[in-house]
Amino acid sequence: MKQAYFITGTDTNVGKTWATLALMSHFKQQGLCVVGMKPVASGCEKIEGSWKNSDALAIQKNGSKFIDYSLINPYAYELPISPHLAGKDNPANLETIFTNFQALQNLADVVIIEGAGGWYAPLNVHESIADLAQKLNIPIILVVAIKLGCINHALLTFEAIEKSKLNCAGWLAVCNDADFDCVDLTIDSLITRLTAPLLGIFPFEKNWNVTAPKIDNFRKI
């Protein structure tokens, strides 16, 4: 049976790519054919004549099979700013993204899709990440960076996901603040307040390894 998950976060730079790669590894270990997708990416560099994003390249590299970059990341923007600003001359089109997603589904057992920014991050003049998620209509996995203020951010994002009528399959805790000394209590507070299950915890690492992200106590989904 085909599976697909959409990775969103409480903000930008919270660990969505780590979560995407960890999930890809998780399903590959089950013997499934897995590919990833990052439909929209800001902050790209010119490689062999075309704009490419380091996160999207990591997703491409970690797939079970080689997938053409343009299928994984159809909208690659140079400037590291909100997609609706970075892509003003080539705005993201949800129909194009959905077509690419369907093509990827035909190539693999599992497709993991990484969003951009937070849930309401604008993709173009009129649409946001939330609109993209609703177009894809697949289960959501919420990534929460464990830091001061994250409880509020997580609850607001989870509430927004519920309002969209989409299923939140669970959430992942990413410990990316070395100076935050209330990690366990914060995670416990989120467990009691979020009805979706905690799927796993990324422990803090000074030097993250993009090819092998570590995750503790990952729950099977």
Annotated catalytic residues are 38
Going 137 to 143 to 149 to 154, the CA torsion angle's sign is positive
The CA distances from residue 95 to 100, 134, 135, in Å, are 9, 12, 8
Give the burial string for 110-148 (b: 16+ CB within 10 Å, else e): bbbbbbbbbbebbbbeebbbbbbbbebebbbbbbbbbbe
